[in-house]
Amino acid sequence: DQQVKQNSPSLSVQEGRISILNCDYTNSMFDYFLWYKKYPAEGPTFLISISSIKDKNEDGRFTVFLNKSAKHLSLHIVPSQPGDSAVYFCAASDSGNTPLVFGKGTRLSVIA
């Protein structure tokens, strides 16, 4: 029972272009969403979050969009840089009171 789904296992983007990573969720109780970035042999590190009262949150090159009616969120990275190459995990929780539920991750490769 995948409550958080990242249907694209991988994505390749040219340096300087926009990277768009998508995430869908099924649990309507989720109201807090996060993106984590993971390099090989390291733990996931927090990137950006959004609560359900907002539909957009921006931090530098990273923007997360939330569409509650579609139960969909996306992470936009612009411009993409080679150092952004990593696995990106989408995660969600119910008011932060329950442990984060993670998607399977999307491997982003930014090609110079």
Partner 1 sequence: DTAVSQTPKYLVTQMGNDKSIKCEQNLGHDTMYWYKQDSKKFLKIMFSYNNKELIINETVPNRFSPKSPDKAHLNLHINSLELGDSAVYFCASQGATGGYTFGSGTRLTVV
Instruction: Please give the residue ranges that form the binding site for partner 1 (CB under 8 A).
Output: 2, 32, 34, 36, 41-46, 49, 89, 93, 96, 99-102, 104-105
CA 78, 61, 59, 104 torsion: positive or negative? positive
Residue whose CB is less far from partner 1, 3 or 81:
3
CB of 79: closest distance to partner 1 in angstroms?
26
Report, in Å, the least distance between residue 48 CB and partner 1.
11
Q: Would you say 46 or 111 has its CB closer to partner 1?
A: 46
**Least Å from the CB of residue 111 to partner 1:** 22
Phi-psi region of 95 (alpha: psi -120 to 50; beta: other; left: phi over 0): left
Please say which residue, 14 or 95, places its beta carbon nearer to partner 1. Answer: 95
